[in-house]
Amino acid sequence: MFARDPIGDLNTHVVSNQPPPLVDYNLYDSDPSLREALHREGAAWSEERVRGMGQATGSSETIALGFVANRQPPELFTHDNTGRRIDEVEYHPAYHFLMRLGLEEEIHSIAWTDPRPGRHVAHAALEYLLTQCEAGVCCPITMTYASVPALRHAPELMKTWEPLILCPAYDPRGIPATEKGCATIGMAMTEKQGGSDVRTNETTATPAGDHYLLTGHKWFCSAPMSDGFLTLARLNDAITCFFVPRWTPQGQRNRIFIQRLKGKLGNRSNASSEIEYDRTYAEIVGEPGRGIATIMEMVKHTRLDAAVACAGMMRQGVVQAAHFASHRIAFQKRLVDQPLMRAVLADLVVEAEAATALVMRVARAFDGASPEEQAFGRLAVAVAKFWVTKRLPNHAYEAMECLGGSGYVEESMMPRLYREAPVNAIWEGSGNVNALDVLRAMSHEPESLTAVLGEIELARGADKRLDQAIGDLKRRLADPKDREARARRLVEEMAICLQASLLVRHGASPVAEVFLASRLPGSMRGCYGALPGGAQLQDVIARAQVSVQS
């Protein structure tokens, strides 16, 4: 697919006016926004590791494996050839290669094993790069990372499982995790009748000595070949969190029955499934009746990664678009030199860099260096999850359109990015769920709103347009009338003001100027590229242009 020396002269014509393959470049070194954020948010110590991931994910070999993993989706085998139940999902070797890359580079563990400030920023940077190569493997890696704070509510359980979860290795074999020495973790929360409303869950837990037996169904179980799952069930009619290992402590297959794999729009290399529990071995995690609060420790971290992945996909989309436009000539000029295309490309760069600045700032808050940082992280992660995931689908579409028909065919990366774009707005709480969570946090933890507004106010006085937007936001937040109906608008304005504050203080000045001129309330338009006149855009576009071998 990405031959270095293709045959250029065909029998009927010479191939011309086509860009060179966008391969064999370093995704980190070519991304000024990520480099700046890694240093700014306290993770400069991880730069060599992140640079290595950038080299790996930009190689022609790894990029090709991402395509293969999507063309060869996982396959479910419920029984072996003797008719015995096995419930195994088989993946293509390309998927296993990418999983091994992510886990050996410690995406899942670096935030928990390295004590230095910026450890969650290092995690986010590694995830941001891997998702540009193939997003499907990021789902099980994210859940493995995010399981740690929830499972720490079960200290005895974690004596066995924490070393397995944090091990920088990958072993896909269907055997007990203790025999492999490493583990990945999945999640099974939602049921048919409730979806995000997990308080309606009907799965039941029955005490059985030192453990519990679960009976019920789960409508979505992501990464069903994981070594263990966090799940919710009713214990004495109260929602409680449990850990379900794939194998029982006695070395027997646990009674987890995979009914079918979901046929999804995107995220094809990763399996999502419907499962049944039938007297399934489980251990309790956290206090009985506190299941939602316990598993939200996991969801908080998966929400961070949902936003991080979208920022990574925005970056990949605009790099693809800028690369094509920089080499393609139409109507006697390169596309990148034509005013309308410059406006679209610059707008896409600005969106991607605003997303990167926001998610990396939220990642730093996850270190929890102070009560104020912890409060900021609790609210800001829901804001970022809501906004960045909402902005990606149209971003992916506009980037695809920059390539014209070439972007619409499967040989391009763009169809895969486009199919992947909606999922992170739906998983880990849809847009409405996140918007309501923001209102809930503002009400129950007013210090979280104080912390977010404090971060925004750090840019006060830098630009009159931003000062006006900050004042308007604070007035709207103080108005209690119809707050739930206005939740989306409130969260949108909070996100935009946060991004503006970060870009004004830390971003490249051309990027910050375009953002202020085009994004603040009253100036935003419905499509990318509708920028005000007079903007100097070449310096913005240059931040997404990558040099590769012709």
pLDDT tens, position by position, for the chain (550 residues)? 565 566 667 788 888 999 999 999 999 999 999 999 999 999 999 999 999 999 999 999 999 999 999 999 999 999 999 999 999 999 999 999 999 999 999 999 999 999 999 999 999 999 999 999 999 999 999 999 999 999 999 999 999 999 999 999 999 999 999 999 999 999 999 999 999 999 999 999 999 999 999 999 999 998 999 999 999 999 999 999 999 999 999 999 999 999 999 999 999 999 999 999 999 999 999 999 999 999 999 999 999 999 999 999 999 999 999 999 999 999 999 999 999 999 999 999 999 999 999 999 999 999 988 999 999 999 999 999 999 999 999 999 999 999 999 999 999 999 999 999 999 999 999 999 999 999 999 999 999 999 999 999 999 999 999 999 999 999 999 999 999 999 999 999 999 999 999 999 999 999 999 999 999 987 777 789 988 876 779 999 999 999 887 6
Q: Which residue stretches of 237-369 are H helix?
A: 291-327, 339-365
H-type helices in 30-135, by residue range? 32-40, 47-57, 60-71, 93-104, 110-113, 119-133
CA-closest candidate to residue 125, choices 23, 25, 223, 57? 57
Three-state secondary-structure class, residue 330: strand
| DSSP single-letter state for residue 280 | E
Looking at residue 325, its pLDDT comes to 97
Q: What is the pLDDT of residue 257?
A: 98
DSSP assignment string, 32-49: HHHHHHHHHTT-GGGHHH
Please check whether residue 123 is in contact with residue 307, taking contact to mean a CB–CB distance below 8 angstroms: no
Pick the CATH number of 185-292 from 2.40.110.20, 3.40.640.10, 1.10.10.10, 1.10.3720.10: 2.40.110.20
What is the C-alpha separation between 361 and 288, in angstroms, rounded? Answer: 34
From its phi and psi, is residue 482 left (phi > 0), alpha (psi between -120 and 50) or beta? Answer: left
Angle ∠(129,110,454) on CA atoms, nearest 5: 80
Residue written as tokens 């072993």? 171
Report the DSSP beta bridge partners of residue 34: none
Q: Which helix or strand (DSSP H or E) is residue 397 part of?
A: helix 371-402
Spell out the domain ranges in the chain: 185-292, 293-544
d(CA 467, CA 457): 9
Which two three-digit tokens encode residue 140? 């099980």
- Compute the half-sphere exposure of residue 158: CA atoms within 13 Å on the CB side of its CA: 14
Q: SS3 of 316, please?
A: helix
CA atoms within 13 A on the CB side of 494: 32
What is the number of residues in the chain?
550
Phi, psi (deg, nearest 5) at residue 279: 55, 55
Which among 103, 60, 83 is positioned nearest to 223, based on CA atoms? 103
**SS3 at position 368:** coil
Q: Which residues pair with 233 in a beta bridge?
A: 240
Q: Which residue has the tokens 């990405």?
A: 2
State how far the alpha carbon of 431 is from the alpha carbons of 136, 247, 264, 356, in Å: 21, 36, 19, 19
- As a dihedral over the C-alpha atoms of residue 464, residue 468, residue 470, residue 472, rounded to 10 degrees, the angle is 180
Burial (0-12, 13-18, 19+ Cβ within 10 Å), 10: exposed
List the structure tokens of 396. 């992916």
For 293-544, CATH gives 1.20.140.10
Q: Residue 276 carries which side chain, given as an amino acid letter?
A: E
Both tokens assigned to 111: 């935030």
Read off the DSSP letter of residue 115: -
Closest CA to 438 of 493, 372, 364: 493
- Total Cβ atoms within 10 A of residue 317: 29
The pairs formed by 515-523 with CB atoms below 8 angstroms and a separation of 24 or more are 515/350, 515/354, 516/463, 516/465, 516/466, 517/465, 518/347, 518/350, 519/350, 519/354, 520/465, 520/466, 520/468, 520/469, 520/496, 521/469, 521/472, 521/493, 521/496
How far apart CA 333 and CA 341 sit, in angstroms, is 11
Cα 429 to chain centroid distance, Å, stands at: 13
CB 58 within 8 A of CB 130: no
Pairing state between β 238-245 and 228-235: antiparallel
Q: Which two tokens stand for residue 386?
A: 């809501």
